Amino acid sequence: MKNKVLGIIGGGQLGRMIALSASHLGVKSYVFDPSNNSPAFDIASKIFNYKYDDIEAIKKFSESVDSVVYEFENIPINTAKIVESICPLRPSAKVLEISQDRLIEKEFLSNIAKVKTADFRNCPTIQDLESALKDFNYSAILKTRRFGYDGKGQIKINNNINPEEVWKTLEGHELILEKFIPFKRELSIILARSEDGKTEIYDCVQNKHKNHILDETIAPAPNLDIKVEEKSKHIALRVAKALKLIGLLAVEMFEMHDGNIIVNEIAPRPHNSGHWTMDGCVTSQFEQSVRAAIGWPLGSSKRNYDIVMKNLVGNEIELFNSYINEPNYKVYLYGKKEVRDGRKMGHINRIIKKNSNTYEFKS
């Protein structure tokens, strides 16, 4: 059997965990990232330390691997298209193009996938912003169309806001205004789809944020109404199908007080809210992404344990001392050289017997 080589664009913790999973299947990883101390470089068989728009480097990289995945959405679309002209890119450049721009993504979700999203308005000018604010009764969130993550590039709007001031704060970016959604809680679902259209879908989980950064994922989502769970899975599958997805997809959703589900955003890659699958499921989200990319059958996404996943953000990395020797807690560190505020340094999975109705991270 010829050993496969997976190309990974982006060498952060997600790229690192994809590479680790690839290694369990005897698949080598070549990692492409412009930063010279990327966490995934420690794991890679070969590193490509070039800028994402270095066409010659991206061509060489694509020619040296069997297929390519990416760990984040902000890759130049031209780069993705070049990769795709040489080898399979999973998910496709088309999916990347949709998910890297909130306006295109929301239009796709509501018009093509036909799932519910927050009401939204494109705001190319301040006049558009002013009229959109009126439409939404000044209860809204202004977001940059591109490059936002962990709540960055977002301003929550309220009644006494001065449109000129918020416009100035985000000036120079293309903007979208979203109606504020008074949700009950945040849920997400991860699924994988293979070349032959087979899907594996993980259980719906609840996400809790701190300072706009994911703090905890509770898997499965506590006390989730069976009908709401079915609805959320149905929606995730519908989006994947509309995208003609091959690869991994995360769907962030809002659960409403009346049981309705509204899609917040999608990510065509492993997602922080899927780290629980590393200890909760037969096949982790990372392995699933490798399998889908390489063209192998997907693994089972069956849940064997309930998990509470706690992110170690910034100084929280020190928590690892308290848990490193605790039974039922699995500690992961990403090998980042410098601790910074708001930086994801690692995570811990609390492993809980299935269906024991335990939703806390602390025992």
Binding site for Mg ion (CB under 5 A): 252
- Phi first, then psi, for residue 318 (nearest 5°) are -65, -25
Interaction partner, residue 118 (Mg ion, ligand ADP, none; CB < 5-8 Å by kind): ligand ADP
- Angle between helices 77-86 and 55-63 in degrees, nearest 10: 30
DSSP 197: S
Tell the smallest beta-carbon distance from residue 209 to ligand ADP (Å): 6
Tell the smallest beta-carbon distance from residue 149 to ligand ADP (Å): 5
- Closer to Mg ion by Cβ: residue 51 or 152: 152
Interaction partner, residue 181 (ligand ADP, Mg ion, none; CB < 5-8 Å by kind): ligand ADP
Tell the smallest beta-carbon distance from residue 265 to Mg ion (Å): 5
- Closer to ligand ADP by Cβ: residue 9 or 214: 214
Q: Give the CB-nearest residue to ligand ADP.
A: 181
Q: Report CA Rg, the chain.
A: 20
How many angstroms separate the Cα of 299 from the Cα of each of 25, 102, 194, 282?
12, 31, 10, 7
- Closer to ligand ADP by Cβ: residue 264 or 284: 264
Q: How many CB atoms lie within 10 A of CB 48?
A: 22
Phi-psi map region of 347: left, alpha, beta (phi>0 left; psi -120 to 50 alpha): beta
Task: Mark out the alpha helices in the chain (DSSP H runs).
Answer: 13-24, 55-63, 77-86, 93-99, 102-107, 126-135, 163-169, 226-242, 277-280, 285-294, 320-323
Interaction partner, residue 222 (ligand ADP, Mg ion, none; CB < 5-8 Å by kind): none
Interaction partner, residue 21 (ligand ADP, Mg ion, none; CB < 5-8 Å by kind): none
- Spatial distance between the Cα atoms of 172 and 177, rounded to a whole number of angstroms: 15
- Closer to ligand ADP by Cβ: residue 184 or 241: 184
- Closer to ligand ADP by Cβ: residue 181 or 333: 181
Residues near ligand ADP (CB under 6 A) are 118, 141, 148-151, 178, 180-181, 186, 209, 212, 252, 264-265
